């Protein structure tokens, strides 16, 4: 196979025929994106190498099972990566711990005093908090970290990877309505966690109440 | 509009914001937003969250320089394991069962052994009578052939290769091509359009495979050919 740019279908056909050069092309094309997704899911950089390796090994073994009629290659790859990532979390015992943390009192949906149940922000709150900037970025990363892997996955796939909801459902392996519900709750939780640090999610104003 | 229908439409807002809804869904959402302007706040929050994540979530991962080499080492190990995997031989289980029967007979009392021997002889005699006396089966109409009743059995023991043909390949052309290399399609097409073609074992199986690969690769309507390591 030549080194010229070839489309995903040709690439997968060649890999199914055990073409190592095509496999390298696929790796170079998609491994960074898969790895970045897994890094957000796993939160442990040292696990990402192994998870990407496992994902790509599964691609090599199952290349002939890829069916372009059922979705694009990236969706298929994300699906494998998601499965490998969750498997790794389960094996390391982190999945349950994170899940229980994420399902702490449904603070955004009831009247419980949030200060009683949530970790305190490490930075002092300030009504004139700068909405943009490093501090907001740190708060966002912190808020994303508070989400369960399942909620983090649907948020990333929807807002960072720009996947459609049927694609998200395919990747995480659940019904589309579950995806919609997860995104809804994850958004509310993110808004709530950010509010705890004095940030409000709004494109136009800081006064919008969440 | 019912509250449930409204909730269903509001649930689509994140994907309206990321531009992945289909035209029909977009029309429904836009109509809803016109009717209920308050929902625009929800939409703005979705867009703001997307912007926030794009701007601040800079989590990226790059593979280590030797990552692909390590991956290929795993691939090679996997392939080697597949080649070296012992072939399951069912006769082993059978022989084990046979040995158990012999062992049981060895320890069985003599009258039991004699009884079993006589019964076995009677059964064999009955089978012989049935076979000899029954009329021969009706001759098969030579003009009738089913798909599962081909003259030659499918080649499954020969060297195999994976092949991708292009859309221009015609059936007659394919038959001629495969006939020329003594090959048969034994699997496929997969969803990716890949066929597995086997060539019969000859005196030099490897030579036959190499020749077949060369012939197929030279054909203008064959896009990919890769021998399968077996």
- Smallest CA-to-CA distance from A39 within A74, A89, A76 is with A89
Mutate which of A159, A168, A189, A205 to disrupt the B interface (most B C-beta within 10 Å)? A159
Question: Poorest-confidence range of A136-140, B105-109, B135-139?
Answer: B135-139
Residue A39 and residue B41: Cβ atoms within 8 Å? Answer: no
Residue B200: the pLDDT is: 76
Q: Which residue has the higher pLDDT, B22 or A209?
A: B22
pLDDT at position B226, please? 87
* Cis peptide preceding B189, ω within 30 of 0: yes
Position B106 scores a pLDDT of 72
Yes or no: say if A203 and B54 are a contact pair by the CB < 8 Å rule.
no
CA distance B25 to B205: 58
Residue A123, pLDDT score: 41
The ipTM assigned to this model is 0.77
Q: What is the least distance, in Å, from the CA of B225 to any CA of chain A? A: 7
The fraction of chain B above a pLDDT of 70, given in percent, is 80
Residue A157 DSSP class = I
Among candidate residues B87, B77, B83, B84, the one with its CA nearest the CA of residue B229: B83
Q: Looking at residue B137, what DSSP letter applies? A: P
B44:A204 CB<8 A:
yes
Judge whether A36 is closer than 8 Å to chain B, CB to CB: yes
Q: Are A193 and A144 in contact (CB under 8 A)?
A: no
**Nearest chain B residue (CA) to A207:** B41
- Which DSSP string do the residues of A48-68 spell out, in sequence order? HHHHHHHHHHHHHHHGGG--G
| Chain A residues whose beta carbon lies within 8 Å of the beta carbon of residue B58 | 137
pLDDT at A128: 45
User: How many other CB atoms are found less than 10 A from the CB of residue A46?
Assistant: 7
Q: Each residue of B59-77: pLDDT tens digit?
A: 789 999 999 999 999 999 8
Is the pLDDT at B89 greater than 60? The verdict is no
The CA distance from B137 to B132, in Å, is: 12
Mean pLDDT, contiguous 10-residue spans, chain A (210 residues) = 68 92 95 94 90 96 91 95 94 61 45 38 42 74 91 95 96 96 94 87 46
Residue A50 makes CB contacts below 8 A (sequence gap 6+) with: A88
Q: What's the average model confidence in pLDDT over B175-186?
A: 89
Q: How far is B15 from chain A (nearest CA, A)?
A: 6
Measure in Å the smallest separation between the Cα of A135 and chain B Cα atoms. Answer: 10
Residue A128 has phi, psi (to 5 degrees) of -95, 30
pLDDT on residue B187: 86
Contact predicate A61/B78, CB 8 Å: yes
Residues B74, B76, B79, B84, CA torsion sign: negative
Strand residue runs (E) in A11-57: none
pLDDT, residue A6, reads 73
Taking CA–CA distances from A131, the nearest residue in chain B reads B52
- DSSP at B196: E
pLDDT at B34: 92
Distance CA A69, CA A120 (A): 48
| H or E element, residue A205 | none
What percentage of residues in chain B have a pLDDT greater than 90?
Answer: 26
Phi, psi of A146 (to 5 degrees): -75, -20
Selected residues 114-153 of chain A with any CB under 8 Å from a CB in chain B: 132, 136-137, 140-141, 144
Average pLDDT on B26-50 reads 91
Determine the pLDDT at residue A149.
92
Kindly give the pairing relationship between strand B183-187 and strand B222-227. unpaired
Span B161-182, average pLDDT: 89
Question: Which residues touch B14 (CB under 8 Å, ≥6 apart)?
Answer: A158, A159, A165, A183, A187, B46
Question: Which residues in A47-63 are b (16+ Cβ under 10 Å) and which e?
Answer: bbbebbbbbbbbbbeeb
Alpha-carbon distances of A24 from A3, A27, A175, A191, B67, rounded to whole Å: 10, 5, 33, 41, 11
Judged by CB atoms closer than 8 Å, whether chains meet at B194 and A16 is answered as: yes
Determine the Cα–Cα distance for residues B65 and B42; give it in Å rounded to an integer: 44
Q: Answer whether A191 touches B (CB < 8 Å).
A: yes
The answer to whether the Cα torsion of B37, B39, B41, B45 is positive or negative is: negative
Q: Note the pLDDT of residue A148.
A: 92
* pLDDT for residue A105: 45
Q: Which of B19, B67, B194 sits opposite A17 (nearest CB)?
A: B194
């Amino acid at each position: 196979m030549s080194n010229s740019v070839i489309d995903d279908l040709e690439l997968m056909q060649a890999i199914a025929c055990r073409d190592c050069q095509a496999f390298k092309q696929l790796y170079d094309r998609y491994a960074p994106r898969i790895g970045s997704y897994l890094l957000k899911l796993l939160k442990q950089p040292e696990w990402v190498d192994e998870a990407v390796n496992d994902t790509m090994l599964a691609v090599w073994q199952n290349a002939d099972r890829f069916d372009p009629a059922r979705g694009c290659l990236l969706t298929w790859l994300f699906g494998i990566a998601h499965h490998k990532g969750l498997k790794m979390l389960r094996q390391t015992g982190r999945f349950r711990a994170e899940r229980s943390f994420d399902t702490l009192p449904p603070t955004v949906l009831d009247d419980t005093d949030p200060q009683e149940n949530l970790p305190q922000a490490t930075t002092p709150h300030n009504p004139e908090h700068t909405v943009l900037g490093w501090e907001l970025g740190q708060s966002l990363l912190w808020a994303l970290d508070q989400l369960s892997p399942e909620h983090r996955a649907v948020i990333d796939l929807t807002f960072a990877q720009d996947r459609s909801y049927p694609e998200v459902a395919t990747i995480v392996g659940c019904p589309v309505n579950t995806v919609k519900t997860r995104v809804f709750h994850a958004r509310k939780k993110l808004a709530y966690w950010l509010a705890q640090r004095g940030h409000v999610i709004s494109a136009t104003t800081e006064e919008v109440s969440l | 509009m019912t509250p449930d229908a409204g909730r269903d439409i509001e649930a689509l807002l994140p994907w309206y914001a990321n531009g992945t809804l289909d035209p029909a869904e977009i029309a429904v959402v836009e109509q809803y937003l016109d009717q209920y302007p308050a929902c625009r706040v929800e939409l703005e929050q979705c867009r703001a969250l997307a912007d926030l994540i794009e701007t601040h979530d800079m989590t990226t991962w790059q593979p280590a320089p030797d990552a692909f080499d390590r991956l290929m080492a795993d691939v090679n190990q996997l392939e080697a394991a597949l080649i070296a995997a012992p072939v399951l031989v069912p006769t082993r289980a059978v022989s084990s069962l046979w040995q158990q029967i012999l062992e049981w007979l060895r320890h069985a009392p003599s009258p039991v052994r004699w009884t079993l021997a006589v019964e076995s002889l009677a059964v064999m005699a009955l089978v012989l009578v049935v076979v000899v006396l029954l009329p021969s089966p009706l001759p098969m109409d030579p003009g009738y052939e089913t798909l599962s009743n081909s003259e030659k059995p499918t080649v499954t023991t020969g060297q195999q290769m994976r092949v991708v043909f292009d859309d221009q390949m015609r059936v007659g052309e394919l038959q001629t091509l495969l006939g020329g290399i003594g090959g048969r399609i034994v699997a496929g097409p997969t969803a990716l359009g890949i066929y597995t073609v086997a060539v019969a074992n000859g005196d030099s199986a490897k030579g036959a495979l190499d020749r077949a690969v060369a012939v197929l690769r030279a054909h203008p309507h064959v896009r990919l050919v890769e021998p399968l390591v077996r």
